[in-house]
Structure 1
């Protein structure tokens, strides 16, 4: 058990196992789950399927959305990765490659004809050759991960000194409470958005329904940090599948301790490692977030992005970026 200034970190219950996946989905993430996609897309998603002798050997979910000008298939809200899931075959490396290219190609042929298609692939997919061969642009995206076989002591030693110090400081002032109620988390999240004059980028209904669903299904938990007087000052939402725990959501009051989110993440890391789950910080979308997450000493891990856009869509996007230049890092890194 790791201690901070001789104080033992709060012990949380280990996350319950998720439901047994469909056999073909040998390595699905929580984001591939049917219930997740139903909520995240509000039912507007489809599944490309490849069968062999009436057996499903490959599948790939995708969402559809119609805007005023475009028909697009992008990642749904709060859905970090998707991509194909293919039943593996035995044999030589060449046979496996041929199988993956063949099945993925047949899945790609079923994808919709739209103005813009974009997905980030699960990090366990280490190549996107089939997509490149079918005219998609393949790009490198990144996340940080702590391997499931890491011990808590090893993880603590890998933190940089600044991160360790803010966690120590926060642990002296805050109490971490597991399993805060979804209603409390959502009210806290919305209040912090209002205080900053911001709206919910994920959509109020989608976020509320997903939070309620992953807590009810025991596929996630909500951790809260409470300060003086029992006031909630920071909270994070973590979700998991059979191989990884993902940092999905967080919110903090403007006057919260600067280490409040770091303390909650460290607590989540401990629970993931106890469960023998990889902890996935789930990407970053800005240099400041990269710097913050880099302090946890995790391994930088590549995730591949695949995209294909129509000519007019690309032209309009280029013009928009010239008029209003974006951030250095692209969304969904």
Structure 2
């Protein structure tokens, strides 16, 4: 049990040393793992590979599906980022750039001919020049991250005062329990969706199988917040690799304490920093989520998006937007 600024945080098991299995790959994220992609795509993914002297020096996974008339490639459910993984070389800056451009270009040439292709690249990929040179549109997305070397007390001081207050308040009313059973988490998630008359955007089967897989492989954990009568009122799912811990899933009861998710995320931050992992709050797509995550005082971090669309697909999408009875502006985050 760890205490930070008077808050007692339950222990979470350390990431297993075997989470990343392929030493030939240059520190891929958990979302690049074969088992993750097998489940998230239900086996419908392929891998572009570049070799040199029988050694793999570059990889890029991608998923494809048929939607009506269109063949599209998107990020699979619950897969936050993908993109190329390239074995680095030493030498001058120019040599390293040439290597990245060459290997990435050869990976791009292996991608299927899609009507629409889109991926968000891992934050460690800091340029998408090769994609731009091959006709892709490159755009900026964002996430919030707390660096692995940040001290817990420092992270606490960086919280907005409102966020600190709701965490303190929630900690007085709720008990945080690590290692929530997958079945309990999934049943809770489904019940909260039903209470709001919503369906699972990730797909019930895919989410269930991924949750069971990352818990079984010790590549993630489920945290629960319990209120009076040991009632589960909020839960989050966290996954990790050797570089970072990621906020993946969350759910809360409609009558839960307003700080229940904040308390669970702060618990995750503490555990990540104990193990010298970066904590990634995941991206955001609307102002309210931005405002909530911004309260944690994390560093705004750019993630590059790469996309390419066929003329027919673009025309159909534009026509659909104009014919839609209600057009709502959503910022490109």
Name the SS of the counterpart of 2:283 in structure 1. coil
Q: CA deviation at 1:142?
A: 0.2
User: CA 1:11 to 1:59, structure 2 compared with 1: closer, same or farther past 3 Å?
Assistant: closer
Aligned counterpart, 1:72 = 72
Aligned counterpart, 1:325 = 327
Runs of 4+ in 1 over 4 A off after TM superposition: none
In the alignment, does 2:256 pair up with 1:256? yes
In the alignment, does 2:86 pair up with 1:86? yes
- Relative to the length of structure 2, the TM-score reads 0.97
Q: Is the 8 A contact 1:25 1:85 kept in 2?
A: yes
Name the SS of the counterpart of 2:282 in structure 1. coil
Residues 109-120 of structure 1: pairs in structure 2 closer than 5 A: 109-120=109-120
Name the SS of the counterpart of 1:281 in structure 2. strand
Q: Determine the C-alpha separation between the residues in 2 that align with 1:107 and 1:20.
A: 21
Q: Determine the C-alpha separation between the residues in 1 that align with 2:74 and 2:266.
A: 31
Q: Is the 8 A contact 2:176 2:224 kept in 1?
A: yes
Q: Is the 8 A contact 2:143 2:280 kept in 1?
A: yes
Q: CA deviation at 1:55?
A: 1.1
Name the SS of the counterpart of 1:35 in structure 2. helix
Q: Is the 8 A contact 1:18 1:218 kept in 2?
A: no
> In the TM superposition, what whole-angstrom CA distance separates every residue of 1:198-237 from its partner, at most 9, and x where no partner exists?
0000000000000000000000000000000000000000
Q: Determine the C-alpha separation between the residues in 1 that align with 2:54 and 2:118.
A: 30
Q: CA deviation at 1:2?
A: 4.4
Q: Determine the C-alpha separation between the residues in 2 that align with 1:51 and 1:75.
A: 24
- The runs of 5 or more residues in structure 2 that have no matched partner are none
Name the SS of the counterpart of 1:248 in structure 2. strand
Q: CA deviation at 1:24?
A: 2.4
User: CA 1:194 to 1:137, structure 2 compared with 1: closer, same or farther past 3 Å?
Assistant: same
Q: Determine the C-alpha separation between the residues in 1 that align with 2:302 and 2:121.
A: 10
Q: CA deviation at 1:11?
A: 3.5
Q: Determine the C-alpha separation between the residues in 2 that align with 1:255 and 1:226.
A: 12
> In the TM superposition, what whole-angstrom CA distance separates every residue of 1:275-316 from its partner, at most 9, and x where no partner exists?
100000010111100000000000000000000001111112
Q: CA deviation at 1:26?
A: 1.3
User: CA 1:321 to 1:268, structure 2 compared with 1: closer, same or farther past 3 Å?
Assistant: same
Name which of structure 1's ranges 15-24 and 148-157 shifts more when overlaid on structure 2. Answer: 15-24
Name which of structure 1's ranges 57-66 and 17-26 shifts more when overlaid on structure 2. Answer: 17-26
Name the SS of the counterpart of 1:282 in structure 2. strand
User: CA 1:245 to 1:7, structure 2 compared with 1: closer, same or farther past 3 Å?
Assistant: closer
Q: CA deviation at 1:327?
A: 4.5
In the alignment, does 2:270 pair up with 1:270? yes
Q: Is the 8 A contact 2:239 2:245 kept in 1?
A: yes
Q: CA deviation at 1:329?
A: 2.8
Aligned counterpart, 1:233 = 233
Q: Is the 8 A contact 2:244 2:279 kept in 1?
A: yes
Name which of structure 1's ranges 312-321 and 65-74 shifts more when overlaid on structure 2. Answer: 312-321
- Relative to the length of structure 1, the TM-score reads 0.97
Q: Determine the C-alpha separation between the residues in 2 that align with 1:99 and 1:73.
A: 26
Count of equivalent residues: 330
Q: Determine the C-alpha separation between the residues in 2 that align with 1:327 and 1:2.
A: 43
Aligned counterpart, 2:149 = 149
Q: Determine the C-alpha separation between the residues in 1 that align with 2:82 and 2:160.
A: 32
CA-based RMSD of the aligned residues comes to 1.2
Q: Is the 8 A contact 1:234 1:256 kept in 2?
A: yes
Aligned counterpart, 2:96 = 96
Aligned counterpart, 1:295 = 295
> In the TM superposition, what whole-angstrom CA distance separates every residue of 1:23-54 from its partner, at most 9, and x where no partner exists?
22112000000000000000000000011111
Aligned counterpart, 2:131 = 131
Q: Determine the C-alpha separation between the residues in 2 that align with 1:14 and 1:27.
A: 18
Q: CA deviation at 1:7?
A: 4.3
Aligned counterpart, 1:244 = 244
- The runs of 5 or more residues in structure 1 that have no matched partner are none
